[in-house]
A and B are shown apart, each in its own frame.
Chain A
Amino acid sequence: MSMQRKAPPTWDKVGKHALFPEAKHDEIARFNFLANLNMHLSSDVIPGVKEAYDGRARPQFFAQHGRDPETRHEVRALMSEDPYYQWWSALRRSTMEMRQQAGRSLVLRQMDKLNKVAASFNEGQDTLQLNDDLPLPNYVTIVDTHCMPGSYHTAEVDGDVSAGANYDSGIFVTTVGQLGSMTDGGGRAISDWLKRDHGDFKPQRILDIGCTIGHNIVPLAQAFPDAEVIAVDVSAPVLRYGHARAKALGVNNITFIQANGESLSDLANESFDLITTSMFLHELSTQSMPKILSEIARLLKPGGLSVHLEQPQYAGRPVFEQFMRDWDTWNNNEPFWGTMHDVDLEAMIGNTGLPESHQFTVAVAAKVDESIFPKTEHDSDSEDFGRAAAWNVFGAWKPTQSTKQESAA
C-alpha cells in the first residue's frame, strides 16, 4: 500500500504584511520547488550520510586505526572523502545559493517600492534609532553570514531594506514552513514556555539582542503588550525593515536601536526584567561573546531572566552528530558556530555574575502552525509533520538578595 506523502505549504501561504515583497506566479513556483528540495534533502538524502558513515567509512577507519573516530574533526576528515557525503554537501550548498538568488531577484526588482513603504512606516518615528557611525564588528563583516550575499548589513541604496525583505521571504523556504506563517516560531516557543512554566513572570521591560528583522521579538512583544520592548542589532537594513514590519503588524511597543551588544552604554544598569537572544550567540566571536554576556548581566534587574535560544552544545553528543551539526561552521559561512557550541556556556555565563545555581537548560519546540499545516482527520494530536523546529533555551536568573543568600548557604 502506498504511503500518503505530506505536502509542505505552498509559498503563497506565507504570512504577509505591508513590507512583504509581492511575488509573481513563477517566483512562488520557484520557492515551492526549493522548499520541496529542502524537504527532500533532509528526509531522503541526509539519512544516507549516516548510512555511509556506519556502513563503510567508520569500518574503514576502524580497520586502519583499530578504533572508531574520537572527535568530530576526525569524522570530518574521514567523511570528506566519502562520495555520498560529498554529494549531499554539494547539493545542500547549491540549494542555499539557489534560495539566495531567488530571494534576491524577488526583492531587488521591487526594491524602490519596498524602501518607500518602509520609509512611510519609519519616517519621524522615535521607535527606530539608527546610527550611521556605529562601526560594524569584524565578525559581522568578515564573511557574509549563512551565505546571504551582502549579509544583513549591506544597503544597495540609501534607506535600503532589501536584506530584511530577502531574509523574511526565504525562511519559509529553508525551514519548509516549520517556523510558522509569520516565521516567528522561535519567539513563540519562548513566550509559550514562559507562560507555561513561569506564568507569574510579567516582564515590564524586555531587551532582545541581535534582533535582525524582529521576527522573534514580535511574538514576545505581543505576549506582553504592556511591556516596553527594546530590540537592538548592528545592521541598519534589517532594523529599518524590522521596525516597519512590526508597525505594519500593529505591534507598537518595540523600539529598534542600532547598537552593538558588546557595549550598550545608553541602557541603564538593572533596567530589564527579560533579555533574550535567538540564534544569535553562534554569530559572535571569542572576544565579543563574553562582553555581550557581561552586558546582559549588567542590564538585568535582580530577579530578572536572560534567555538564549540556540542549538544544543556539542559536549556529550556522539561524534557523528557533532560532525553533522558542525557542517555550517565549515560550509555555511558560520565560522563561530563550532567554537560557540564547544564553549562551557554555564561557566561563561557564571563568570558574568549569574551563578550556575541560577542557570537551567530546557528544550523547546515550535508549535505546528495550523493555519499552514491544517490538521486532517488522519493526524493524531502528537503528529508534528516530521521533526518540528526545536531548540535549547539556555536560561539564567539574576540573583536577588535572598536568592544570593540561598545559593551561598
Chain B
Amino acid sequence: MANPVAQAGRDARLRHGWWRSNRFLILRRSSQLLILLMFLSGPLWGVWILRGNYSASLLLETIPLTDPLMMLESLLAGHWPAWLVWVGTAVVLIYGLIGNRVFCGWVCPLNPVTDLAAWLRRKLGLRQSASLPRSLRYGILIAVLVGSAVSGTLLWEWLNPVALMGRGLIHGIGEGALSWLKGLVAAFGAGIWLIVALFLFDLLVVEHGWCGHLCPVGALYGVIGSRGVVQISAEKRENCTRCMDCIHVCPEPQILREPLLLQKGAPQVASDACIACGRCIDVCAENVFEIKTKFHYSGAKK
C-alpha cells in the first residue's frame, strides 16, 4: 500500500534511524556547499581554490574546468576557443563520463532551490501539475545549439539560471553583512526574479519542472553521462513493498518504473536522467537500492 507523499522516508527513518535515512541528502548538500565555498574562499580570504564560476574555472591555479554546453555554444557561435577552454572541457567531460548527471545533483547551485520547491510540494500536498514531456529538454538543447550557430551569440547564456545563480552567489560577496547584501543585490540584479520564477514554476506549475523537463545544461550532462560509471541499482527489488516512497522523492521517477515497479530487465537505473542523488537509497526502508559502479557488474551476468 502506498504511503502518503508527505511522509516519504518516514518508514526508513523509524526503522534505520535519522542518519541512515538522510545520509545521501546530507552528503549532497555538503558537496554543493563545499564547492561553493571553494569558489568563495578566494574572494573572501585570498585562498584561491577555484577561480571563476560554474561556467568556467581554474582549479588550484592549474586545472581549467569549462561547462561543456558553454563551450559548444561558443564553438558554434563561431569562436575557436583558446586551448585552456578545450582542456577545461576535456576535464569536465571525463568527470561527466565518471558520473551520470552528478553535476545536477552534487554541484549545481540551482539544485537546492528546485529541491526546496519539490519538498514544499510534497509537504503542502500540491499534486496538481501541468504536464510537459520530459524530452523537452533535449529539444531545448538542440534549439540552443542551432540557435547559437545561427545567431552567432551564446544563446542560452542570455538566460541560463544555473550560471546566473552561481554568478550571483560567487560575485556578490562583500565585507560585512550590509555590503555583502548590497553585493548580492548587484550581482543577481534582475536575475533574482528569474530564480524566483523558476521556484514558483516548480512549486505551482510543473512538478520537477525545471531540472526534470527544461534545463539543457542538465540534458547535455545526461547525454555525456549516459554511459556513466556510477549507477543506482535496485539490487534487492524483490523486497520492494510498493510503498512508493522512492517514487515520491525521485526527481526523475519515470526511470524507476522499469527496473523497480515492473521489475523488467536489469536492476540498474538508466543513467541518462538519473542525477545520482541517492535519495531513493535514503528513503527505502527495505534497503532495495544501492549505489555502485559499472565495474561492479563487469563479467557478472544477471
Whether both chains belong to one complex is answered with: no
Residues of A within 8 A of B (CB): none
Residues of B within 8 A of A (CB): none
